[in-house]
Amino acid sequence: MRFEDQRKKMVETQLISRGITDELVLNSFLKVPRERFVTDEWREYSYKDHPLSIGFNQTISQPYIVALMMSLLELKPSDIVLEIGTGCGYQTALLAEIVKEVYTIERVDELLINAKKTLKKLEYTNIFYKIGDGCLGWVNAVPIINEFDKIIISAASPDTPNILLSKLKINGKLIVPQGDINCQNLMVYEKTKDGLNHQSNGNCVFVPLIGEGAWD
C-alpha cells in the first residue's frame, strides 16, 4: 500500500475512530509524510499505531497521542507555539501546518540537525530552532520572543513546569505528560488573568524530560 494511502487509513482508523474531530489537526496529519521522519529500518512501520525509535533513547510518538495533545491545545492559525522536544521533527511539521510560527527546542544536537534537514526539504519556513535545555524556554535565542500562545512538552515532567508556564500568554495553554518516570497524566494548564486552571486527560507514557526542574 502506498504511504499516501496508509496515511489516510491512519487518520480514519487511529484518529477519527478514537474521537479526534479537530479538522485542522486531521488535515495536518493527512498532509505530513510521517515516513520522512523515521529511519530506514522503521520506514515500513511509519503508520503503525505505536511509537517508533528514532535513536538516542528517544521515540516518535504514537500518532493518536500527538493528535490528542494537539487537539487539547485548541490550536489556531494565529498561534505562536513553543515545542519542547523536537525529536525527529514530525510533530513540529504537524504544528507548522496549522499555526503561524513554531519555536522548537531539542537538547540532542544530532536529532535537531536531522530534523531541521528534513523540515527544510519539506519547505517549512515558519519554524525556528534551538539546541539546549527546553525546560528553560526560548532563552538566549533569536528571534527574541518572551511569551507564547501554546506550549507543548513532548516528554514526561516530574512536576508542574513553572518556568515554562511563566512563558504563557494570558488565555494560553500548555500541555505536558506529568508524573513519575513510568506513568504520567496528560495535563493541560490554562493561564487566566485570575491564575492557572488545570485538567487531567488520562494516563500516558513518555520518555523523561531532561533539564532544569525535571529529571537529571
Give catalytic residue positions: 61
Give the DSSP letter string of 42-74.
GGGGTTSSS-EEEETTEEEPPHHHHHHHHHHHT
User: φ, ψ for residue 65 (rounded to 5)?
Assistant: -65, -40
- For residue 15 the three cell numbers come to 484518529
Torsion 115-25-96-101 (CA) sign: negative
Sequence letter at residue 107: R
Residue 213: phi and psi, rounded to 5, are 80, 5
* Residue whose cell numbers read 485538567: 199
Q: What angle do CA 176, 73, 207 make, to 5 degrees?
A: 25
